[in-house]
């Protein structure tokens, strides 16, 4: 996962996932504009393995996170962003700075499938557990990237056990996915959520808190 080589930054003139726009508008009599990107909505799934009393999350390299760290250490990387040829990335940082812990998730890009069906597919592909729509509990939906994308993510909860695991997960290599499945023991989950040495998404923190408020009190006492 962390064997990243031959980095190069280039202008993005077209994308299957992002479309940049500029909105001009008038608000309370003042003329304004705002740059934004249209992208896909998404689903995410908080997975709890009842056999081992642990959360199942994923770990993967995120180029956007990596480049934020690159810019922080090497500000010149994006200084010439309007030029056709951007500087080559000399002295790159170790790839681990771009690795994050996340909930199992996926974009909503299949018009024929419901959010629940997409969530079930993602759980199987990324984490190896076969769940049905009946196994899902919808927690809530929220807006992410409100300053840039405004996309909606819908969060589900699913309980699994060891018998429901049919593969090792890991995503779809043919689509370039390289995902590591990680188990976070329940008793260590809130410490993990607030430990900044483990880079993670807000979805992990929020969903762990939701679990401790809504599910944990109903668990059998040891």
Residue 82 pLDDT: 57
pLDDT digits (tens, 9 = 90+) for 141-179: 999 899 999 999 999 999 999 999 999 988 776 666 689
CA distance 78 to 62: 18
Confidence of residue 51 (pLDDT cuts 50, 70, 90): very high
CA distance 27 to 112: 38
Query: What residue spans define the domains of the chain?
Result: 21-80+88-218
Residue 220 pLDDT: 84
CA distance 172 to 126: 8
- According to DSSP, residue 129 is labeled B
Task: Give me 14's structure tokens.
Answer: 């077209």
Topology at the third CATH level for domain 21-80+88-218: Nucleoside Triphosphate Pyrophosphohydrolase (3.90.79)
Percent of the residues in the chain that have a pLDDT greater than 70, as a whole number: 91
**Lowest-pLDDT range, 67-81, 119-133, 195-209?**
67-81
**Lowest-pLDDT range, 5-9, 46-50, 113-117, 118-122?**
5-9
- Give me the phi and psi of 221, to 5 degrees please: -75, 140
Q: Is the pLDDT of residue 88 over 70?
A: no
Residue 4 pLDDT: 77
Residue 21 pLDDT: 94
Residue 101 pLDDT: 98
Q: Which of 117, 121, 120, 157 is nearest to 140 (CA)?
A: 157
Mean pLDDT of the chain: 91
Task: Give me 221's structure tokens.
Answer: 């006492």
Residue 172 pLDDT: 73
Span 205-220, mean pLDDT? 96
Q: How many CA atoms lie within 13 A of 195 on its CB side?
A: 10
Q: Is the pLDDT of residue 79 over 90?
A: no
Span 53-81, mean pLDDT? 87
Q: Is the pLDDT of residue 78 over 80?
A: no
150 or 221, which is more confident? 150
pLDDT digits (tens, 9 = 90+) for 21-36: 999 999 999 999 999 9
């Amino acid at each position: 996962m962390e064997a990243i080589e031959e980095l190069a930054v280039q202008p993005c003139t077209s994308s299957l996932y992002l479309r940049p726009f500029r909105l001009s508008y008038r608000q309370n009599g003042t003329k304004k504009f705002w740059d934004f990107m249209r992208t896909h909505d998404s689903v995410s799934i908080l997975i709890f393995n009842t056999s081992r009393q642990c959360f199942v999350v994923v770990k993967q390299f995120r180029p956007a996170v990596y480049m934020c760290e690159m810019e922080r250490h090497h500000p010149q990387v994006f200084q010439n962003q309007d030029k056709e040829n951007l500087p080559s990335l000399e002295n790159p940082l170790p790839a681990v700075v771009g690795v994050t812990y996340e909930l199992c998730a996926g974009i909503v890009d299949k018009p024929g499938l419901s959010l629940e069906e997409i969530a079930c597919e993602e759980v199987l592909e990324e984490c190896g557990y076969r769940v049905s729509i009946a196994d899902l509990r919808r927690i809530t939906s929220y807006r992410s990237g409100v300053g840039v994308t405004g996309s909606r993510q819908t969060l589900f909860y699913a309980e699994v056990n060891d018998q429901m695991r049919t593969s090792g997960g890991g995503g779809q290599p043919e689509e370039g996915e390289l995902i590591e499945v990680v188990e976070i023991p329940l008793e260590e989950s809130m410490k993990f959520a607030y430990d900044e040495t483990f880079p993670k998404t807000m979805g992990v923190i929020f969903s762990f808190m939701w679990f401790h408020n809504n599910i944990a009190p109903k668990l059998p006492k040891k």
